[in-house]
Chain A
């Protein structure tokens, strides 16, 4: 059983901690889609980042600032890094590659910059999220595609000025 809660306090904290540690990461997945107005829910936050020794050090700093653990759950099969905090089940995934997205630079150039308490969070464009979920093709991705496409359609109709 689950219920939906306001992610705002967590988003404020994530934006601040990423900014303070200087880790550049673009939010992807259902959380990013929800910030674009898609009525979808999620249990975690997903980010795309560049896997470099410097960024891995920063990622450790992010986990430490959050009072969380940094795990590598599917090592060596995947490049997924997971931040988990037991006290409130905070769950943040960092990936260095995802289906349907060729370059982080291109994704970042199209991303929206959403301000949370003076710290900017980079949020992938809804069209990029759709492209990624289509390429991934997992049942849970396909299940939300129709909703995301309708959200993109409504956003275009509204002529939203959001970058």
Chain B
């Protein structure tokens, strides 16, 4: 029972920490002007050929 409670507390702490980190990232982005929030374009790299 104690172990289960500890697990729940750990998960809750992890969730809170993830939320804090995400909100920090958003705040840092919001400090920039909109035309500088531009590092979002994902580019595929590497070979895409098949072995056939």
Residue of A nearest to B32 (CB): A37
Chain A interface, >50% SS class: mixed
Residues of A28-49 contacting chain B, CB below 8 A: 30-31, 34-43
For the complex formed, measure the closest distance between the CB of A9 and the CB atoms of chain B, giving whole angstroms. Answer: 9
Interface residues on B, range: 20 to 34
**The stretch of A51-59, A67-75, A112-120 that contacts the partner chain:** A112-120
Chain A residues within an 8 Å CB radius of B34: 35-37, 112, 114, 123, 162
For the complex formed, measure the closest distance between the CB of A161 and the CB atoms of chain B, giving whole angstroms. Answer: 11
For the complex formed, measure the closest distance between the CB of A79 and the CB atoms of chain B, giving whole angstroms. Answer: 25
Residues of A1-32 contacting chain B, CB below 8 A: 1-8, 10-11, 30-31
- A sample of 19 cross-chain residue pairs with beta-carbon separation below 8 angstroms, ordered by A number, consists of A4-B40, A4-B42, A5-B43, A8-B38, A10-B41, A34-B37, A35-B38, A37-B37, A38-B26, A39-B25, A39-B29, A42-B41, A43-B42, A115-B35, A150-B19, A151-B29, A154-B27, A154-B30, A162-B34
